[in-house]
Amino acid sequence: MRLSRAISACLIFGLMAFFCPFLTGQDHFSAYQLSIHKANQRPEIDGFLEEEIWQKAEKAHSFYQNFPFDTSFALTKTEVQMAYDAQFLYLAFTCYDDLPGDYVVQSLRRDFEGGVNDFVTIYLDTFGDGTNGFSFGITPLGVVREALIFNGVDLDPTWDNRWISAARIQTGKWTAEMAIPFSTLRYKPNESNWKVNFARIDLKRNETSTWVPVPRNFRVTTLSFTGDIIWPEAPPKPGLNMALIPYVSGQATRNYLDGSPTDYRANLGGDAKIAVSASLNLDLTFNPDFSQVEVDQQVTNLDRFEIFFPERRQFFIENSDLFSRFGFSRIRPFFSRRIGIGRDTTTGQIVQNPIIYGARLSGKVNKNWRIGMLNMQTARDPEAGIEGQNYTVAAVQRQVFGRSNIGAIFVNRQRTSSGTQDFNLGIADFNRVIGLDYNLLSKDNRWNGKFFYHQVLTPEQHRQQYAHASFLRYSTRKLEVMWNHEYVGRNYEAETGFVPRRNHWRLEPFLRYSFFPRRPKSPINNHGPQLYTNLYWDTQGQLTDRSVELGYEINFASTASAGAYLNQNFVRLFSDFDPTNTDGLPLLSGTTYENFRFATFYQSNNRARFTYFGQINLGSYFNGNILGLTTILTYRIQPFGSVSLRIDHNEIRLPEPYADATFWLIGPRFDFAFTRSLFFSLFTQYNNQVNNINVNARLQWRFQPVSDLFVVYSDNYFPENLKVKNRALVVKITYWFNT
């Protein structure tokens, strides 16, 4: 135990010391400066750039290609202008276009996907730290999206806020305007070190371009490639910003399996958003209702470990990166989906457990310090044997060496009730995690990584209640090298986290090399081999898993892609396991299996109205064989929406006396936007592994900015006779009141 802790400390602090000389500062593009003009009169946000301010404002132009090449100026001309007054930050885009044909627009639904839409966007770094920022985008049809930028490059599109925009298609161009309230942004008053970049995705021409050049091996969202906004004076103070978002909902549910009558319920609650300062926000929720949340996309479960499903509840996903980015994807000290569920002791089933209240304080204190605190209280349900729980999470980050940061987290799950007490914080039933993370981001974005140590605290305090890991990646235009190590102790049980596998050491190196054809009109953009290795040992040093995969991937200039992989696997079972996950005769603990598998895929040009994806996976599987097929078909009904169909098919053949299995997972989806404020989606899933057909239909009417009416209908059936299991209808209305 002491040895593994010492190894972790040496790795973290040794690598930090080694990389410090390469990390300080941030690439500064001094040639890229844009003066922002103060507007004497508020421009009308109609998409026409006729106001006097736009005749005077300086233009950002001469965009540079990011895709398909990054060695020349963009073929499509784009211009951006900025202005401001006491309340709003204004932007004007002029997007020239001399190609005939329609623009590529997925639908009229808000928060569109970036890879299947023509649009322009701003990436705004208000603290100049190269790590956190904002993105606002708009399509030629005026469909908008906003997102938070975190970790220097990643987008969180779940963030929702109020701003004004309009777009107009004109002869030989399209134009757009944005008016973003300063109260929507987070920044330090009287500090004008704002960084910015602009990007245009022109799918009609198949070109991505940016104002500040971004190499094509990096995403255009990367905040290390930004210019400066030149203010004539300090940005104005945003003033008081407080929003109340109450909701009223009613639902009718019926369980047909137990023959119970229809249950009618009404619910009332809401959220509040309070700007404690220009860069620090307090979010409150009371009796939250998540009935409008779309159902999870099911998967065929062939794994020995718990499957991860992402959080979909709005209160938890807004500004969640500060809490959820600690650890790794499969060693998470905090996973918000653990909150609001409990085990019904009378049936043994996992059920929803009402949340009484929630509070979250998060944001930046200044350029270098970022903090977050979360507290949630769940209800007690004596009839189901579910006790109340309190969840507290505290996180702090300190920026170091330019764009890197050190973060600390504390997670506490505390039982608050017992058989004789409705509320008591002194009950000796808790699970706590305290952790330290170092997130590495170099000034040129070539180096990034993470190093952490986490310790679990419980009343019993067993041995090996800790985990540590390191991840390091080096990326250039042609070469990508990654290294990962993990250690998870036998008793590292983070009950409010997601840790599906414990008691292991893991090594996971990866190498990829890319070739770029020299011919300007080559149908291939890049291609190359990759080697991936994944090794697990238990904490006693015995090899339990080994995977070596050799692959080759091709990315076409059309945006299509293809790949093929040959994989060799070794598995030593440390518990009995049925490879079909159907409660058949299990393979015994301690037995070993060596398998070879081949996989290939093809993804068509995603700019086309009809797109398709196909994948084949075949080879040996434990003591038998497997054939897996995945097909995804999508047709875009431009500009209103899309129809898609996903089919997953797996055939498992095992020798006698073990069971064979044939699994089908079929999921048709219909997504339609009648207007930019009225949306409808229908999602059906047939899964014979769990013997279920699920139907989820949702109508959303955004009758005011960030104010919605939801009507949600859901059904579950037995596939063999379409007998209903349960059924629910929910109507919910929310309204955003701004001060």
> DSSP letter string over 352-363?
E--EEEEEEEEE
Please state the domain count of the chain: 1
- Return the amino acid letter for 668: P
The alpha-helical segments, DSSP class H, found in 380-512 are none
pLDDT digits (tens, 9 = 90+) for 404-461: 999 999 999 999 998 778 888 888 899 999 999 999 998 888 999 999 999 999 999 8
Nearest to 277 by CA among 208, 214, 187: 187
pLDDT tens-place string over residues 622-663? 999 999 999 999 999 989 999 999 999 999 999 999 989 999
CA torsion angle 603 607 611 616 (round to 10): 0
Domain membership of residue 52 (yes or no) is: yes
Q: What are phi and psi of 55, to 5 degrees?
A: -80, -20
Sheet holding 37-38, edge to edge: 37-38, 78-84, 88-96, 173-181, 164-170
Would the pLDDT of 4 be above 60? no
Question: Is residue 21 very low, low, confident or very high in pLDDT (cuts 50, 70, 90)?
Answer: very low
Range of the domain at 202: 32-230
pLDDT given at position 478: 94
Residue 488 resides in a domain: no
472: in domain: no
Classify residue 114: in a domain, yes or no: yes
Q: Which of 180-184, 373-377, 684-688 has the lowest mean pLDDT?
A: 180-184
Percent of the chain with pLDDT over 90: 70
CA distance 58 to 211: 14
- Tell me the per-residue pLDDT of 482-525, one tens digit each, with 9 for 90 and over: 999 999 999 999 999 999 999 999 999 999 999 999 887 899 99
Instruction: Give pTM, 2 decimals.
Output: 0.88
87: domain CATH number is 2.60.40.1190
pLDDT per position as a tens digit, 685-699: 999 999 999 999 999
User: 33-35 and 227-230 as β-strands: parallel, antiparallel, unpaired?
Assistant: parallel
In this predicted model, which residue has the larger pLDDT, 395 or 12? Answer: 395
Specify the pLDDT at position 24: 47
Indicate the SS3 state at residue 54.
Answer: helix
Report if residue 130 sits inside a domain. Answer: yes
Among 366, 405, 444, 403, CA closest to 29:
444
Confidence of residue 10 (pLDDT cuts 50, 70, 90): low
Distance, in Å, from the CA atom of 463 to the CA atom of 468, rounded to the nearest integer, reads 15
> What does the pLDDT read at residue 15?
52
90 within domain boundaries: yes
Instruction: State which amino acid sits at residue 256.
Output: Y
Higher pLDDT, 216 or 432: 432
Residue 1 is predicted with a pLDDT of: 46
Mean pLDDT of 207-224: 94
Query: DSSP letters along 114-182, please?
Result: GGGS-EEEEEEETT--SS-EEEEEE-TT--EEEEEEETTTEEETT-----EEEEEEETTEEEEEEEEEG
> For residue 179, is pLDDT > 90?
yes
- The residue type at 26: Q
Answer whether the bond into residue 639 is a cis peptide, omega within 30°: yes
Give the pLDDT of residue 739. Answer: 67
Provide the pLDDT for residue 25.
44
What SS3 state is found at 219? coil
pLDDT value at 465 more than 70:
yes
Q: What is the mean pLDDT of residues 350-376?
A: 90
In a domain, 405, yes or no: no
Q: What CA–CA distance (Å, rounded) separates 43 from 689?
A: 58
Mean pLDDT, the chain, integer: 90
pLDDT number for residue 26: 44
pLDDT in tens, 101-159: 899 988 999 888 888 899 999 999 999 888 889 999 999 999 999 999 988 898 988 88
In a domain, 673, yes or no: no
347 or 234, which is more confident: 234
Q: How far apart are alpha carbons 153 and 710 in whole angstroms?
A: 32
| Per-residue pLDDT at 11 | 52
